[in-house]
Amino acid sequence: MAVFKRKAPLGDRLAALGEAADIARPYLPQDELARLERVATAGAERRSLSAEHTVVGFFGATGSGKTSLFNAVVGEDLGKAAARRPTTSSPLAAIWQPEGSEQLLDWLGVEDRRPRQGEFAPGAGPLILLDLPDFDSVELSNREIATRLAGQVDILVWVSDPEKYADSVIHDEFIRPHAAHSAVTLAVLNKSDLLRGADIDVVARSFEQLLVRDGLRGVQVIPTSTLTGAGVDDLRAAITKVARAHTAQSARIEADIRAVTGEYVGLGRAGGVDKQAKREMDAALSQAAGADRIAETTAAAYRKRLHERTGWLLTSWVTKFRPDPLKRLGLREAPDEIGVHRTSMPELDAPSKAVANRGVRGYAAAAAEGLPHAWAAAVEDRAEEISRAVPAELDRAVARTKLPAEPSRGWSALTVLQWLALLAALVGVLWYLAAAFVPGALAPIFGGDLVPEVEGWPVPTLLIMAGLLTGLLVGLTTTVFGGVIGAGVKRRTRAAIQREVAAASESAVVDPLAQIRGDYDRFADHVAIAAG
């Protein structure tokens, strides 16, 4: 079963367009934003004003005969047509069935209002016909009035003549921006009396071709002459036909929406960023943070401490005089719980900074993927800013990492054993010394045999040997263990730093860039609603 998506009501579409503009404010160039806002505002305003009246405006180059044509359609010389240019400098309105049109005319900014008797044409409904200043005027205010009203009227009538109909400036600057408005556009080739009969059609077709090139499809060119009156009835009939449908007002607004949303529609949402990109960035950032060196140093600190505690006491005391590798690196091993402290490590060196920058930039490229230019540029700018803060973020991430340099308490049993072993050896030595120099002191304990033997071995010798051997063996064993466990410490430290770095990059890089992507997606959603 086919699913038909219904268009939202026009009011909702305009509201969605306004919201899209709000979302896009930090991203889109000023003029593009202004276009969106203008359509959203003008559409909503027009809808709040008289829906009965159809507003028709005559637009064209100076001297094309807008005023003469206006007078001809009205049937009375209301406006001043003249050979001196430009002539019309403020809008003039002929109003059929004027009741309820005041606010609409206020909004249009038309002061000169001429109410007419009766209907414009049977079935056309209330109608306002506007004679306007030239839109290619040397007078800036004329241009402004014509341009503003081109954005406000319901039906646009382009009035040209055999001399100017192909003028590229007129097409490029004035007609093409209204390419979406075919349904509410009429075109007039005035001064047709200047052409020979057979040429009128040729020039009219040529004008039509140019309009098609502008993007206006199905717009018929009506040849007129205010001198002979030819074609004036055709023009009146064409206006009546559009007005009679009573859809010009909303068709115009829809055309405006199409015109400003056209370039965004169909681009689709950006969605999430490729997961691999984050992994690659984190690998680069961990490298830049010195994860390997810190892991190696933590393992070295672990080995040193284990040796201090469980190593052979005759040699291990020497290690105590060597500085702790972690302290030498400027690292505190207790994690910074609040997450604001810095380590005392020196700032990242230039190569590390370059690695970190490359990591962030690589991620930013992935985060910009699928975004239109303005948003992609915003991602790039933000990434640039983030890059500057990254060295400090990495340092804080390292400060937050718990470094497992401390051997577990279980090892202290071996510390006791080492001391006992040393004590045994010491007792053996003292025994011999006492036997040699103060035998009287031993006599009360051992009687005649001051140095008893076991299996032919003197006991003090056994004590000395056992003490020394035990110490040496325990020392050797824990050195081997220290090496194995140290490798684990290194692995765990590296993983812990990677975890902290990944968390830091999530909040410092991923989140802010995701916000831009999210903004774009919301923009795309609203544009899609507006476009219908």
Tell me which residues touch Mg ion (CB under 5 A): 66-67, 87-88
Spell out the residues 6+ positions from residue 318 whose beta carbon is closer than 8 angstroms to its own: none
CB closer to ligand GTP, 225 vs 310: 225
Given the rule CB under 6 A, which of 8-16, 112-120, 190-198, 430-438 is the region that contacts ligand GTP?
A: 190-198
Residue 362 contact, options Mg ion, ligand GTP, none, Cβ 5-8 Å cut-off depending on partner type: none
Half-sphere exposure of residue 464: CA atoms within 13 angstroms, side-chain side: 11
Is 190 or 343 the residue whose CB approaches Mg ion more closely?
190
> Quick one: 131 or 519, whose CB is closer to Mg ion?
131
The 121-140 site mask, x for binding ligand GTP (CB under 6 A), equals ------------xx------
Q: Which does 97 bind (CB under 5 to 8 A by kind): ligand GTP, Mg ion, none?
A: none
Contact residues for 196 (Cβ-Cβ < 8 A; gap 6+): none
With 0-12 CB in 10 A as exposed, 13-18 as middle and 19+ as buried, what is 444? exposed
Those residues with Cβ within 8 angstroms of residue 125's Cβ, 6 or more apart along the chain or in another chain: 52, 53, 54, 97, 119, 243, 244, 246
Out of Mg ion, ligand GTP, none, what residue 101 binds, judged by CB under 5 to 8 A for its kind, is none
Which one of 23-31, 186-194, 382-390, 406-414 is the stretch in contact with ligand GTP (CB under 6 A)?
Answer: 186-194
Min CB(66)–Mg ion separation in Å: 5
Query: Nearest Cα to 143, choosing from 252, 253, 35, 59?
Result: 59
Cβ count within 10 A of residue 344? 12
Residue nearest to ligand GTP (CB): 65
Q: How far apart are CA 498 and CA 491, in angstroms?
A: 11
How many other CB atoms sit within 10 Å of the CB of residue 116? 19
Contacted entry of ligand GTP, Mg ion, none for residue 307, CB cut-off 5 to 8 Å set by kind: none
Which residues in 87-116 contact ligand GTP (CB under 6 A)?
Answer: 87-88
Q: Using CA of residue 501, residue 502, residue 505, residue 507, what is the dihedral sign?
A: negative
What distance in Å separates the CA atoms of residue 349 and residue 289, rounded to the nearest whole number? 10
Residue 406 interacts with, from Mg ion, ligand GTP, none (CB under 5-8 Å by kind): none
Q: Are 306 and 478 in contact (CB under 8 A)?
A: yes
Q: What distance in Å separates the CA atoms of residue 285 and residue 325, rounded to the nearest whole number?
A: 23
Binding characters for ligand GTP, 144-183, by CB under 6 A (x = yes): ----------------------------------------
**Do residues 160 and 59 touch, judged by C-beta distance below 8 A?**
no
Least Å distance between CB 526 and ligand GTP?
39
Considering only residues 29 to 88 of the shown chain, the ones binding ligand GTP according to CB under 6 A are: 60, 62-68, 81-83, 85-88
Q: Is 190 in the site for ligand GTP (CB under 6 A)?
A: yes
Q: Give contact residues for ligand GTP (rule: CB under 6 A).
A: 60, 62-68, 81-83, 85-88, 133-134, 190-191, 193-194, 225-227
